[in-house]
Copies of this chain bind each other. A is one copy, B any other.
Amino acid sequence: MARWQPNASERLVLAAVELFEERGYERTTVIEIAERAGLTKSTFFRHFQDKREVLFGGATLTALLAKGIADAPVAATPLEAVAHGLYATGKAAFPPARREFTARRRAVIEANSELREREALKGLGLTGSMTDALEQRGVPELIACVAAELGGLAMKIAYERWSETTDGDDFGELVREAFTEVRTATGSC
């Protein structure tokens, strides 16, 4: 049985971003990432299915979003439930201390088309899980889809602003703002 490694996943992510910054995604191997983190290749593959996935250990994000939507007040409209989910997720997943790292991670992804592809698919996954969570609340499928798409857009806007900002570290505030803007824009379409 493998020994449990404290924070192995977090250490691998940090090591990967460092190496991708230093020598590029293509020229970095899984073994090098594991070594930089002081771990083994097999520990890497217990946490991530491949080299790309190290930047997208996003099961947490998906679970947080689904829970946040489920926990919204019963009377909430579909969009309000999504806003509730995004706000709860932002608070938990994007604390101020994480902002600088997030900006670095984002730059690494932007620089590589394989990583951008994986990110695009992850984005569809997030939208899909928001749709599912809304349907669980009894929202009809298509309305759930639309609310999830609009929520995804608000999340993206807030995330971009957050990783670029130098003041105002509060992701929750940014997501609230972006959501209001998206809602207003929808009315002007």
Tell me the bound Cα distance from A46 to B30 in angstroms.
Answer: 32
A78: CB under 8 A from chain B? yes
Tell me which residues from 71 to 128 in chain A have a Cβ below 8 Å from any Cβ of chain B.
77-79, 113, 116-118, 120-121, 123-124
A39: CB under 8 A from chain B? no
A145: CB under 8 A from chain B? yes
Copies in the assembly, this chain:
2
Task: Using CB atoms and an 8 Å cutoff, list the residues of chain A in contact with chain B.
Answer: 77-79, 113, 116-118, 120-121, 123-124, 140, 142-143, 145-147, 149-150, 152-153, 157, 181-182, 185-186, 188-189
Note all chain B residues with C-beta closer than 8 A to A78.
188-189
Q: Is the pair B185, A186 in contact by a Cβ cutoff of 8 Å?
A: no
Q: Is the pair B120, A189 in contact by a Cβ cutoff of 8 Å?
A: no
Q: How far apart are A53's CB and chain B's nearest CB, in angstroms?
A: 11
Q: How far apart are A66's CB and chain B's nearest CB, in angstroms?
A: 18
5 A-B contact pairs sorted by A residue (CB < 8 Å): A78-B188, A120-B124, A142-B157, A146-B150, A149-B153
